[in-house]
Structure 1
Amino acid sequence: MAAKREIEAITERIRERSRVSRDTYLERLDAAAGNTASRAVLSCGNLAHGFAACARSDKSALAGDRVPNLGIITSYNDMLSAHQPFETFPTLIKEAAREAGGVAQVAGGVPAMCDGVTQGQPGMELSLFSRDVIALSAAVGLSHNMFDAAVFLGVCDKIVPGLVIAALSFGHLPAVFIPAGPMTSGLPNDEKAKVRQLYAEGKVGRAELLAAESKSYHGPGTCTFYGTANSNQMLMEIMGLHTPGASFVNPNTPLRDALTREATKRALSISSLGNDYTPVGRMIDERSIVNGVVGLHATGGSTNHTIHLIAMAAAAGIALTWQDISDLSEVVPLLARVYPNGLADVNHFHAAGGMGFLIRELLDGGLLHEDVRTVWGEGLRPYAIEAKLGPDGNVVREAAPAVSGDEKVLAPYPKAFQPTGGLKVLTGNLGHAIIKTSAVKPERRVIEAPALVFDSQQALNDAFKAGDLDRDFVAVIRFQGPKANGMPELHKLTTVLGVLQDRGHKVALVTDGRMSGASGKVPAAIHVTPEALAGGAIGKVRDGDMVRLDAENGTLEVIVPTEQLAARKVPAIDLTGNEYGFGRELFAGFRQLATRADQGAAAFGIA
């Protein structure tokens, strides 16, 4: 198959590029594995501190040194719907560990912030770097060297990528990721979006808007649209870090609890004290990373992962590039339509066949590496299943359904919604950028219009309220990159630009900021790099310059003579307003150290 040959060629390209860094990583992993996982390296004082608060039976077991100890890294808090269900997971995990002859301890907690709460607020400027804080926090939790394996409780935006980076930094330990699942379906996402647009136009008030939002986000679990949080869950399953079928089972159900207990026992069984030692740093390799990218394209997943996957891969010594992601997009078809690239939510996706159906179709189409190792064992084929609750309360698995339960939501490979993936890399004299094409209608994928330049999303929203934007234009929002202000999401622009597009105007967005997995129907060239603060050409665009965004051919250009563009200077603007308040002063070092978006936007030296 041509697609399979192309995917294998890209994988080999990544492998060759990564050979030195990957070999160095694996050498360090092996050295760590030989120096841990038994607690014999700990002094009696170390060990006594490590189990001082344990139950008597757990103390006795850990003192003997031949019982596996499972570290729990949790992102629990009860303000965020996706993470609230984790409150009860440690108790469940400890009980399951004892049943399996092991011990489990909460090794540490990590912060979990929600972009949905901080959209348009100063706190959003901490969001991207919270990924790095999460990785650092998890590393502190695992640093005590008490553990033979770890389970990671996380769901949302930066939390899972941060946890993966931490897990791979402790790559000698087996790692199993345990999700909480999506909330049940509420007000349909498209109806919520309509109310947002009516509010932006002044046609409904705040009370009506809050009522709609509350009906959409209404209970425990992940938000049901296909943004970064649910893209995370897809990635963890298709990369083999979840147990099969675990991703999209609702919280607080018997099946969810059964999957959690099962994941606990599996984590213990793949420690070095068992017969199936599976260190996560060896398990995750170039093939696993490529499988993750394929899944992202096939589902039209979050644009944020064009940043996160690069940082995650780098943590395992693997050099993934935007070009790799773009080339894979050309051979991977879009098989899922989940809001914002369709009307369905993730519960409808799961009911139509979900991850099991998707993985089977991609495997049969030659689009995934089947010969990978997972937390479940050898090969990805065991993930082409549907998980159910057995009569004894344990998980049973059946083959994924032969046909989709709804081909408008989840298509079989021969009936793909489009022949290419949902994400594309743009290149041109403005640099490199990412666009999510799956939610943009084909007739809107090429936009050429005069630029209107803004230095914040609030400035654009103010212009909209003043009635200054009823025309064709390309909004250029600059000084939003990692070094400028932490690369916040600019999701507040979605509604305004959507209103203008619905009025018949040709509009598009170009920004060195982010737009997230919620990127919608307006063409948006995001993550532009180099960013304006680093001298990028996006900072040289002026009002009235013609900008051409061509998502079909993958180009992003300002139509200005080369010599004229080169002679322009990026204006110096006052960014001190982004440097203080809501903890932003504490992140000055992160902004200074941050790498480019196409290098993972990391504030530590893994990319």
Structure 2
Amino acid sequence: MTRIHPTVERVTDRIIERSRDSRRAYLSLMAEEGDRHRDRNTALPCSNLAHGFAAAGEDKASIATRQGPNIGIITAYNDTISAHQPYAAFPPQMKVWAREVGATAQVAGATPAMCDGVTQGQAGMELSLFSRDVIALSAAVGLSHAMYDAVALLGICDKIVPGLLMGALRFGWLPALFVPGGPMPTGLGNKEKQKVRQLYAQGKATRAELLEMESQCYHTSGTCTFYGTANSNQMMMELMGLHVPGAAFIPPGTPLRQALTRAAVHRLSAITRDGNDYRPLSACVDEKAIVNAAVGLLATGGSTNHAIHIPAFARAAGVRIDWTDMAELSHVTPLIARVYPNGTADVNQFQDAGGIGFVTRQLIDAGLIHRDIVTAGGDSLDDFAQEPWLDEGELAWRACGTSGDETVLRTASDPFQPDGGMRLVEGNLGRACFKTSAVEPERWTIEAPARVFESQHAVAQAFTAGELDGDVVIVVRFQGPRANGMPELHTLTPVLGVMQDRGQKVALVTDGRMSGASGKVPMAIHCSPEANGGGPLSRLRDGDLIRVSADEGVLSTAADLALRDPAPAPEAQMGTARELFAMFRADADEAERGGSAMLAAAGL
């Protein structure tokens, strides 16, 4: 067996030691709760139980007499988000497949599922990060009925998977699996998409031309095909063993997708407490599984949003991981995938080249991920180093073999670059994340005067007015969790891309988020402490010289910030229900701890 890499082992040991008390408290609570809910027929009075199965139809007798396990389905279905539209058909099918193995299934509850692609640059985006807490709370409400022996989690996109995991982990005595829906077919190529967006930013393309292009990219049901937060979610769930192996990127509406969903239902029925292979979620999501998720993210150049989400869902399991841990893992993790935005391929081409099965095999063999985690979807992590297929109509798995396209996937011994997709930059402006995988190395260090803004729209206005012609570090502050909910600043991407393409040295520094599709411009994002409350960004002024360097791990200014008073935070905005989220903004943690008000209020 390959020995784990010394750095991965050291970081894991540090996380285990840092998490000792919180992890012990979590596991103790899960054991107590598991004992209390061991048998729903004795834990629930008859009136309560009757309410719970009153509408269960032909499954009533089985649930009433506990003839087999009852699977609770938490669904994030809606038909506005393309990724979640296929879920409409899942619960009725899952109930049939549960009966095949003597089990039952009920929809335990639903969660909201908002799309950052729809809300980018709009007021609704200020609800986005906190929707993760709402999703976790919604999942908890559904599972609080105590009617279930296992949990099927139907969710894919940005905040939805982390939120579902956070909620389910507080019911961690139950086994749980994520059941993905798969990506839409490949649409318009990514280079053409980027080109039209930049032309529109320069006023050289019409809105009708832009909308036509966008409609060719996002054109039917299924997950968006770029490697943003949603698809990074799928990768992490595989490396944590929380899917049926290979389920991530099989298209919706295909026989193989249906076979994988059926297998998830059968698998859940087999790993409950009443069987011989009990695999509770609390045992699956431990320090080693969290490290696997982080390494997988780095090896594939995944979404920067997970620098916030990983610490958040880790905390829900009593595990403490920070950006220093992730930076050290990045230093020894080779980048072995090129998927848009850090390449030209989409996730369908990634899947065709070998997909996550290939990535998992490479990382296991290189000693970069922990093989000995408890997996919910397979017998061991080795099961995830394969690809699913239909053998005469029956679901089977086979070895991935070599890369089917070395412009998309490479071995760990011959990577695209020797280290992972993210670095930590820090200094007198705080700590921030820098995604290197999509940025040319000659742009990893930028030193230029600052232009300070308090909204992404103000940047766009300055660009249109011709004010951003020289080398510049764009600072967009008061975008953190406590200021306005930490929206993604996706509308900056075309503007900054145009500036860079015309020869300017340009970088972005912000306490906000960028898209999971953040691209070719150097960016120090998620800056902590945030400007709201007196963080360093609140003391910057136009013209201050700023150095952003992924090479050196530096984020600093030559200005003496201690001599200045912080700029006042902009007044909180009303409308689009932003006022209802004031309690989340008031209590939110810093980004490095996950930006969660719920976890902070719970003392986790």
- How do 1:267-282 and structure 2 match up within 5 A? 267-282=268-283
2 CA distance for matches of 1:44 and 1:112?
34
Mark the CA change 1:398 to 1:485 in structure 2 (over 3 Å): closer, same or farther.
same
Residue 603 (str. 1) matches residue 604 (str. 2): no
Q: Who is 1:493 aligned against? A: 492
Residue 4 (str. 1) matches residue 10 (str. 2): no
Counterpart code for 1:516:
S
CA contact (8 A) 1:37 1:146 kept: no
Q: Who is 1:571 aligned against? A: 567
Q: Report the 3-state secondary structure (helix = DSSP H, G, I; strand = E; otherwise coil) of the residue aligned with 2:108.
A: strand
CA contact (8 A) 1:314 1:606 kept: no
Residue 150 (str. 1) matches residue 159 (str. 2): no
CA contact (8 A) 2:3 2:367 kept: no
Q: Who is 2:350 aligned against? A: 349
2 CA distance for matches of 1:191 and 1:540?
40
The offset of 1:33, in angstroms, is: 0.8
Q: Who is 1:517 aligned against? A: 516
The Cα offsets for residues 402-447 of structure 1, whole Å up to 9 and x where unpaired, read as x100011001111101111001111110000001100000111100
- How do 1:9-88 and structure 2 match up within 5 A? 9-39=10-40, 40-55=42-57, 57-88=58-89
- How do 1:180-579 and structure 2 match up within 5 A? 180-391=181-392, 393-401=393-401, 403-560=402-559, 564-576=560-572, 578=573
The offset of 1:516, in angstroms, is: 2.6
Normalised by the length of structure 2, the TM-score is 0.98
Tell me which of 576, 581, 592 is aligned to 2:586: 592
2 CA distance for matches of 1:229 and 1:365?
26
The runs of at least 4 aligned residues of structure 1 exceeding 4 Å deviation read none
Mark the CA change 1:274 to 1:2 in structure 2 (over 3 Å): closer, same or farther.
closer
The offset of 1:606, in angstroms, is: 5.4
CA contact (8 A) 1:3 1:331 kept: no
Q: Once superposed, what is the RMSD of the aligned Cα atoms?
A: 1.1
Counterpart code for 2:407:
K
Counterpart code for 1:307:
I
2 CA distance for matches of 1:344 and 1:189?
8
The Cα offsets for residues 10-37 of structure 1, whole Å up to 9 and x where unpaired, read as 1011001111110111011000111114
2 CA distance for matches of 1:3 and 1:378?
20
1 CA distance for matches of 2:14 and 2:569?
41
2 CA distance for matches of 1:513 and 1:528?
7
The offset of 1:554, in angstroms, is: 1.0
Counterpart code for 1:394:
E
Q: Who is 1:164 aligned against? A: 165
CA contact (8 A) 2:478 2:570 kept: no
Q: Report the 3-state secondary structure (helix = DSSP H, G, I; strand = E; otherwise coil) of the residue aligned with 2:520.
A: coil
Mark the CA change 1:3 to 1:546 in structure 2 (over 3 Å): closer, same or farther.
farther
The offset of 1:498, in angstroms, is: 0.2
CA contact (8 A) 2:177 2:377 kept: no
Mark the CA change 1:548 to 1:2 in structure 2 (over 3 Å): closer, same or farther.
farther
CA contact (8 A) 1:3 1:332 kept: no
Q: How many correspondences in the alignment?
A: 599
Structure 1: 5+ residue runs without aligned partners? Answer: none
The offset of 1:379, in angstroms, is: 2.6
The offset of 1:569, in angstroms, is: 1.1
CA contact (8 A) 2:483 2:569 kept: no
Mark the CA change 1:573 to 1:22 in structure 2 (over 3 Å): closer, same or farther.
closer
The offset of 1:575, in angstroms, is: 1.7
Counterpart code for 2:252:
P
The offset of 1:400, in angstroms, is: 1.5
Structure 2: 5+ residue runs without aligned partners? Answer: none
2 CA distance for matches of 1:95 and 1:432?
51
Counterpart code for 2:427:
G
Mark the CA change 1:3 to 1:501 in structure 2 (over 3 Å): closer, same or farther.
farther
CA contact (8 A) 2:76 2:160 kept: yes
The offset of 1:583, in angstroms, is: 1.0
The offset of 1:467, in angstroms, is: 1.1
1 CA distance for matches of 2:4 and 2:490?
34
Counterpart code for 1:395:
L
2 CA distance for matches of 1:159 and 1:279?
21
1 CA distance for matches of 2:507 and 2:446?
7
Counterpart code for 1:465:
T
CA contact (8 A) 2:184 2:220 kept: yes
The Cα offsets for residues 364-384 of structure 1, whole Å up to 9 and x where unpaired, read as 111111111101344311111
1 CA distance for matches of 2:205 and 2:15?
51
The Cα offsets for residues 142-184 of structure 1, whole Å up to 9 and x where unpaired, read as 0000000000000000000000101111100000100001111
CA contact (8 A) 2:378 2:384 kept: no
The offset of 1:283, in angstroms, is: 1.5
The offset of 1:573, in angstroms, is: 3.7
Mark the CA change 1:592 to 1:186 in structure 2 (over 3 Å): closer, same or farther.
same
2 CA distance for matches of 1:118 and 1:516?
12
Q: Report the 3-state secondary structure (helix = DSSP H, G, I; strand = E; otherwise coil) of the residue aligned with 1:249.
A: coil
The Cα offsets for residues 543-599 of structure 1, whole Å up to 9 and x where unpaired, read as 000000001111101112xxx3112111114323x2x11010110000001000011
The offset of 1:390, in angstroms, is: 2.5
CA contact (8 A) 1:118 1:124 kept: yes
CA contact (8 A) 2:264 2:377 kept: no
2 CA distance for matches of 1:449 and 1:3?
41
Q: Report the 3-state secondary structure (helix = DSSP H, G, I; strand = E; otherwise coil) of the residue aligned with 1:410.
A: coil
Q: Report the 3-state secondary structure (helix = DSSP H, G, I; strand = E; otherwise coil) of the residue aligned with 1:398.
A: strand
Counterpart code for 1:231:
S
- How do 1:57-136 and structure 2 match up within 5 A? 57-136=58-137
The Cα offsets for residues 305-325 of structure 1, whole Å up to 9 and x where unpaired, read as 011000110000001111111
CA contact (8 A) 1:66 1:273 kept: no
2 CA distance for matches of 1:600 and 1:582?
24
1 CA distance for matches of 2:35 and 2:4?
40
1 CA distance for matches of 2:237 and 2:585?
28
